[in-house]
Structure 1
Amino acid sequence: MAQIVITGAGPTGAALALLLVKRGIAVILIEAAKDFHRVFRGEGLMPSGLDALEQMGLSTILERIPHRQLDAWEFIVGGKWLFRVEEPMGADRPCTLVLQPPLLEAMIAQAQAYPGFEFIQGVSVKDLLWINHRVAGVTLGDGREISAELVIGTDGRNSVVRQRAGLQLVRQPKDVDILWFKLAASPRFAANNVFYSILNKDCGFSIFHGAEEGKLHLAWVMSADDRTDWKQTKWAEVFASLSPSWMAEHFRSHAGTIETPIRLSVVVGRCPSWYAPGVLLLGDAAHPMSPVRAQGINVALRDVIVAANHLVPLFHAEAGHEEIDAALSRIQAEREPEIIRAQQLQIEEAAQGEQLRKNALIRWLLIQLAPLVRKRIQQSWLKRQHEMRQGITQVHLTV
């Protein structure tokens, strides 16, 4: 019997599996996909996420895989420059973009050096095993049954483990979807990687150079009432019409490199309970985050540290089921305040952007009064970013 089964080999599952096997706890990590190259994976590591990786001894991995730092954040409204903030905004390290597939491959390769680790890839979890009203393992899509002292669901916002355990996800109202584009990079971004947020008329998008060499990423906000036929739209012209002249020229001259967009359906919410007897949810399985300011991977890595702090001593002591299950509530209690606050900050930032998008008068006043209010707006934005970047609670690896 495995001591712990982890379902989902994203950053949460891979990092937790590695932490546990390095401490002598037997883990089976199960990943439904045959490889890690999904159509979309978040890349943004904030200082809090970078700190979590450092505490786990994984900082050197970043040096070996494609990554790129952000240099600044800049806001342009109605064609007028609003404000700019330089990285690292008072932190000891800047926001860093990292390619997830090589990050996950590197973490799993490290875990495979330990005898207590098994990785099952390309097979989905179909159901949970129950014994006396307690989860006792998983059933795989190929019919295999795997027993475990604890099942940890890190299988994302559409978590099968969450559904099979009967744990409820309370969703926030859905306001937007995102169209995610990639296109050829401009030398201007390569030299100075600025995260631009552009709002013009009632349209908004963000653009920056991702971790992948030579690729810009562009996120186009689609509101609930958007009726755009996005598959037929001439996007190069749309982007150019909303952008500063130098950026417009790049869109037009590289129109042929704009890849077919991915439509990301934004699911945001939080489980009232992250656990049931014998099962724990972490990361997006427990609290799917908004894409605003790239919180998902960062809070998930901090979930991993807190979970390890509580679980490692219990498994070393060969604790019984009651002690293990009692620890699951303590993990949620420790992590939940940060998740609640981070999601609230995301809501505030998204609401501010949506208000600007919908209200032409506010946009006009902001443009006209920009020289007078620029500093105040910048300070308000910075204050909100500090908590989302640095983390809201103290998280320290103690095992």
Structure 2
Amino acid sequence: MKWVQVGLVLSIKIVVVLSTTNLLASRNGDLEADPITFWTPGGSTLASSTVHVHGGSRSAYISGRSQYWEGIEHTFTNDTLDLTMDNIYAFVGFIRLENLAPGQLYEEVEVMMEQKFYNTEVRGYYIISRSTHTPIGTWVEVGGDFKLVDNLERIRIYIQVTSKEVNYYFDTASLVELVPDPNWMANAEANINLYRKANLDVTVLNPENMNLNDYTIELVQDKSEFGHGTAIRTDLWTDPTYSYYPDTVYNILKAEWVTVENGLRWKNMEAVELPHDRPNRNVQMHLGQDDHSRFTGEHFPRVPFADTTGTNPFICNGTRCTSRTEPVQVVRFQKRTPCIQDGGPEILHLSP
């Protein structure tokens, strides 16, 4: 038996049917009313605008924010909108940032929900969605789904932007109920041939007029239309007793990119000293590597420098540095690592 290897790329489409009834259609969900009705400013200044619109001829313009949580909001009660407890709903809208805070390339935008319960002043706050890299000057869809719990008196959905200096436009909001399909498993099984399978025609060039009855065609999927990947642990990746771990990523998962979970973060990798020769902690692979965060939260480096005995030496202009363990500010990465002399504030340039 002879084998012929053929490359294959498959496109898989998943069809999801949602409710099309927009519960905000009668509550100015399209933001076309001037002055704006149903929506409130939430501590900001709210006005109707024709400068930028996502749909229709008007949108909401939000400015004058003094806190990050201030902005456009919509409140729902059982008296104003028939929301059923234990049901699942999806809220979606479109936001366009007018400006950014100084020094920022993007902003974090969150769609929040405040829940007020009967017979108590206790409130619950939940994140419906978070868009961490929202750019300026383009419409971005925000929102997500949530499930209502029992004993709710009202809910308030509002938009918060990390930097209070940011003004923005908001438009085309919708609230729909997501109705679970009790027959989804049976329908998926019945439609598997339609959505997950397809005929594949293979053309074999045979200039030598060989008898092709002796050949078997083997298909190997080299890539997918949507590049998929995973997070990996560097300790398992570099441990020879876990050789099956990278093998699983390469040959079973067939990841097209990876991101290191925590192995390249300062706290886990360089918390005590600053050597650049720890290859056992680096991931050497032929996959594309997603650049993961190296400094998070309060874990900025505190670097022990060489003392007068030469312990842990760092060379500064041909002489040894004095012993220091003060915090440093990391501003960028570069190949060369200069030492820090007395004086401050200090800036340390690091190589990853």
Normalising by structure 2, report the TM-score: 0.23
The structure that is helix-richer by fraction is 1
The structure that is strand-richer by fraction is 2
Higher-Rg structure is 2
Answer 1 or 2: higher relative contact order, Cα 8 Å, separation at least 6.
1
Normalising by structure 1, report the TM-score: 0.21
